Amino acid sequence: MEEIIHQELESQEYFINMGPQHPSTHGVLRLVLSLDGEIIRKVEPHIGFIHRSIEKMCEHDSYQQIVHLTDRMDYLSCHINNEAVCLAVEMGLQLEVPDRVKVIRTIIGELTRLSSHQLWWGVMGMDLGAITSFLYGFRDREMITDIFEETCGARLTMNYNVPGGLMFDIHPNFQRRTKEFITHFKKKLPEYDALLTNNVIFRERTVGIGILSKEDAISYGVTGPAARASGFSCDVREHHPYSYYPKVQFKEVLRTEGDCFARYQCRIDEMWESLSIIEQLIDNIPEGPYKAPTKAVIKLPKGEFYQRVETARGEFGVYIISEGQKNPYRLKFRSPGFSNLSALDHMARGSKIADLVAIMSTLDLVIPDIDR
């Protein structure tokens, strides 16, 4: 009798929709879950709700116009996305930008990474039921957005990079406020550990959950902290250094467990690394022009240019095919979120719905980045 009941229960596989409007998807992502009781058998992501065909728009835009479109993809790493396009264009023009530009780009890039990780940390806590972390994360992130507002004129979609350099010079308060932020955040980061990292409930929900092996991470093209937690050394800053990264000291954070907690810990450790990079550079911004002279209409020579950068989520690639015109023939954005999402099904199979929330959280998906 028991066996019959068991078989009856086993066979009842059913589907539910998670999203497109679900708080833990952080945007419009629809997941069709195939469930057996509470156990996930399959996750099928349905994306494209905010697809704007940015790649097609780029085919009609000049290179200066393309830069601001990348803000609207991964809005939490907007400065780094801008930098990728600018570096690709500069590569095509064989333009050497002044050291001042490289240093400022690197500092603001690391500040962007910090603010992205702070937001991720806040919402990760909230996804797992802790409201306090959300407030902590946003409190510290506010200081960075204030710095951005002062220097770049915007808080989120900054559009501070232009091909050849920066749109304008840094604000006189930039160095002082950044240093204030570093001293502030160095005191606050241990609080993050006290609140979540060493929390028993948090550990119960993350340790051993959603394991991704190194081989699978490579095969699925997972990059960023999510892949480094599985031991896949893929930090673009280390392997293909750009801007001022060749001259700063930092170590690539690697872990081997590959579970949710390892991905969490990777990002926390990356925040310390980012702080150290900013500290090395903030007092050593060289004097000089903030922009190399470029023509008003940029025409790249015929050829192909692939530039990759490390955003807060992973490897972001810009692939430009130029036919010598003022706009690209084809422009492809290899976005980290797109590849990271493809591994979600593999990671979530066999776990429970509540664990799926933790897995999605540690993948740190930004939906416009996936949909483009």
Partner 1 sequence: MDYEALKEYIIQRIPEAEVTQGSQFLQAVVPSDKAYTFLAELKSNPKTSFDYLFCQTGVDWPQHMEVVYHLKSTTHNHELVVKAKINTRENPEIETVCNLWRTAEFHEREIFDLYGIVFKNHPDLRRLLLTDDWVGYPMRKDYVDPVNMIAY
> Under the rule (CB under 8 A), what is the footprint of partner 1?
47-48, 51, 53, 55-56, 60, 216, 218-221, 223, 232-234, 239, 303-306, 308, 315, 317, 319, 321, 330, 332, 334, 338-339, 341-343, 346, 371-372
Around 118, how many Cα atoms within 13 Å sit in the side-chain half-sphere?
26
Instruction: State the nearest-atom distance from the C-beta of 312 to partner 1, in Å.
Output: 18
Helical residues (DSSP H) of 197-259, grouped into ranges: 200-206, 214-219, 225-228, 236-239
Give Cα 240 distance to the centre of its chain: 17
Question: Measured from the CB atom, is 50 or 285 closer to partner 1?
Answer: 50
Burial of 215 (0-12, 13-18, 19+ CB in 10 A): exposed
E-strand spans in the chain?
Answer: 13-18, 21-22, 27-28, 30-36, 39-46, 161-162, 165-166, 303-310, 315-322, 330-334
Question: Measured from the CB atom, is 178 or 223 closer to partner 1?
Answer: 223
Give Cα 127 distance to the centre of its chain: 18
Report residue 317 as tokens. Answer: 């690639």
Instruction: State the nearest-atom distance from the C-beta of 36 to partner 1, in Å.
Output: 20
Question: Measured from the CB atom, is 189 or 254 closer to partner 1?
Answer: 254
E-strand spans in 174-302?
Answer: none
Instruction: State the nearest-atom distance from the C-beta of 142 to partner 1, in Å.
Output: 34
Question: Measured from the CB atom, is 298 or 320 closer to partner 1?
Answer: 320
Question: Measured from the CB atom, is 42 or 155 closer to partner 1?
Answer: 42
Question: Measured from the CB atom, is 118 or 340 closer to partner 1?
Answer: 340
Instruction: State the nearest-atom distance from the C-beta of 39 to partner 1, in Å.
Output: 22
Question: Measured from the CB atom, is 221 or 289 closer to partner 1?
Answer: 221
102, 168, 221 from 108: Cα distances, Å: 10, 14, 27
Instruction: State the nearest-atom distance from the C-beta of 118 to partner 1, in Å.
Output: 28
Instruction: State the nearest-atom distance from the C-beta of 169 to partner 1, in Å.
Output: 31
Instruction: State the nearest-atom distance from the C-beta of 53 to partner 1, in Å.
Output: 6
Say if strands 161-162 and 27-28 run parallel, antiparallel, or are unpaired: unpaired
Instruction: State the nearest-atom distance from the C-beta of 140 to partner 1, in Å.
Output: 33
Instruction: State the nearest-atom distance from the C-beta of 60 to partner 1, in Å.
Output: 5
Report residue 278 as tokens. Answer: 């900013």
Burial of 192 (0-12, 13-18, 19+ CB in 10 A): buried
In contact, 370 and 338? CB cutoff 8 Å: yes
- What are 30's strand-pairing partners? 46
Question: Measured from the CB atom, is 81 or 339 closer to partner 1?
Answer: 339
Question: Measured from the CB atom, is 46 or 295 closer to partner 1?
Answer: 46
Show the 3-state SS of 105-119. Answer: HHHHHHHHHHHHHHH
Any residues with CB less than 8 A from the CB of 188 and at least 6 apart, and which?
A: 136, 140
- What are 166's strand-pairing partners? 161
